[in-house]
Chain A
Amino acid sequence: MISNLAVLPIVIPLLSGILAAFFHKKLPLVRFFSKFMAVLNLLASLWIGLYVLENGSVILETGDWKAPYGIILVADQLSIFLVITTNIIAAFSVFYAQSVLNEQKEKYYFYSFFFLLISGVSGAFLTGDLFNLFVFYEVFLMASYGLIILGGEKIQLRESFKYVILNLFSSMLFVTTVAFLYSVVGTVNMAQIAERVQEADQGGILTTIGILLFFVFASKGAIFPLYYWMPKSYIVPNPVVSTLLGALLTKVGIYSILRVFSLIFIHEPMIQQLFLWLAALSMVFGVIGALSTYNVKLIIVYNIIPAVGFMLMGIGLLSETGIAGAVYYLIHDMIIKAALFMLIGSLVYAAGTSDLRKMGGIIHRYPYLGWTFFIASLVLAGIPPFSGFIGKLLLLQAGFEKDQVLLVIIGLVSSLLILLSMIRIFIYGFWGEEPDSKNVPNKKSPSLWPAMSLVLISVILGAGAEWIYPHIEDISEMLVNRDIYINSVLKE
């Protein structure tokens, strides 16, 4: 009975999304309903989180089909932490949405797509079955296609077409890879795959499958050299949609890499070596991208790439400290990226342009926005005692443990350059004099408190590391000793 808990974070938003579609034109009702359900979903996942912390993983075997045969959902600590983070972001975004979307967009199924996206993302975190991972990928991708073209402007249609094609291609590759893996190990249950990969003496073909899967996840996670689709398609939609896509979707890719490459494909050290190279290149190219543009939205989007590089570095090191660092950084990055996308949305709104050269002096009119953005930049760059620092500290420590000095240096330099790219926004956008105030919109500005609260949570995540770190340590121990996961699922 209690194992049914694991399905709640998928079912609540799924049903809410479907229900919201029925009264999509009654705005006061749909707004209230969405806020209520988003908060309810957050509370439900917090409750499951507490239950998991006390009693260990919740494993749901749907329809009572025993583990390797039926479809299973696994709410272990890692999954449930990420689900909670997702729902925190979702709850704040739904409050932010009303102030940045116009009524037309709200009426045309924004809330339905929003809930379906959350449902898919939570499902991807919770599933214990590789084929279902693909299905949940499709669920949130379909919702993201809907969200990204919401409004249907010229440029949106142009960029989202490329986004859809790329994701469709990598999804098809995902199915093909699952078929490959099925032909080798004869199962799609992740725990059983892990067990059989250990036994099967077929290094070559399994490495090929591993790299194919990495290609799929990396193109969703925007790792070098597969990030080319991301910058343009993440800046065209509405700020709240950018928030959801930037904070959640790329991180699902990273989570999948973390799960699959700490559980299944650890037979070949070359894969981990590849990860370290790509991590370093992602950091370098992401930072170059962030420094190369004057478009504030693009700067933030490019900043996703070095962050992904940091997490990949932790996964590539595959030591307990490294994985702990990657998990910590993952949670930190989801929250702070959501906050930054919201703040940038407000900034672009306040300035009336997204070109840094045309803005200035915003801090005179919007002091709170300015200072929240400043704190968020420090958090992102990893200045102690904020949460970015703890994650980076763990990652760099793990790098030294494995003698990857060059990687550590690249990481440190790129952190400094991330700070530079953020301070550039601060100097050009917030300081100085406003060029002319003729393009100042006189509508109510987007609400600031959701972004402020997210920054606050992020600060707590850093300052309260003492309470959170033991759980992160547990997670990394579980990921490194993969028998814990296998035994908990297959109950041997």
Chain B
Amino acid sequence: MEILMSILAGILFATGIYNLLQKQILRIVIGTGLISHGAHLFILTMGKLKRGAPPILTEGAENYTDPLPQALILTSIVISFGVTSFLLALSYRAYVLNETDNMELLRGNEND
């Protein structure tokens, strides 16, 4: 199961990076979203995918899931949620003001 999840995370990273390298702003934003999904899946996998009791200490609890990766993912999801919404607003403003969503045309020159 861990192998499968790692491969899935890898695919998400690869498609994310492919999108990140495109010219269109919206594709880049989607790329960052895919990469963060990959990262979150990866954290979950790194804490070992175990089935069993919730991590509450009771007598006879032997097989329990690791709570730390879940706490990390929650934090990370919230952060990437905020950043993505900010990024969408920013790219909309950039598109409206610069009148293009092509990164090639947003390069700028030496004198400004």
Contacts and interface: CB of A to CB of B under 8 A. Distances in A.
Interface in A195-227: none
A106 interface: no
For chain A, which range describes its interface: under 10, 10 to 19, 20 to 34, or 35 or more residues?
A: 20 to 34
Contacts of A188: 68, 72
A152 B97 contact: yes
A171 B35 CA distance: 10
Given A168-B83, A175-B39, A188-B68, A155 B112 contact: yes
A173 B42 CA distance: 11
Contacts of A153: 97
B108 A157 contact: no
Interface of B: 20, 25, 28, 32, 35-36, 38-40, 42-43, 45-47, 68-69, 72, 75-76, 79-80, 82-83, 86-87, 90-91, 93-94, 97-98, 106, 108, 110-112
A155 B79 contact: no
5 contacts: A145-B86, A153-B97, A157-B90, A168-B83, A169-B20
Contacts of A180: 46
A159 B107 CA distance: 8
B39 A152 contact: no
Nearest to A135: B75
A371 interface: no
A271 B41 CA distance: 29
What secondary structure prevails in chain A residues at the interface with B? helix
B90 A161 contact: yes
A155 B83 CA distance: 21
A160 to B, nearest CB: 7
A154 B111 CA distance: 15
Interface string A135-150: 1001000100100010
Interface of A: 131, 134-135, 138, 142, 145, 149, 152-155, 157-161, 164-165, 168-169, 171-173, 175-176, 178-180, 182-183, 188, 232, 293, 355
Contact of B91 (A152, A161, A169, A182): A161
Nearest to A176: B39
A157 B97 contact: yes
B87 A179 contact: no
Contacts of A159: 108
A165 B94 contact: no
Contacts of A355: 111
Given A138-B79, A188-B68, A164 B46 contact: no
Contacts of B76: 134, 175
B106 A161 contact: yes
B69 A182 contact: yes
B10 to A, nearest CB: 11
A134 B82 CA distance: 15
B42 A179 contact: yes
B86 A179 contact: no
A158 B25 CA distance: 11
A375 B82 CA distance: 43
A172 B69 CA distance: 15
B46 A158 contact: no
A142 B83 contact: yes
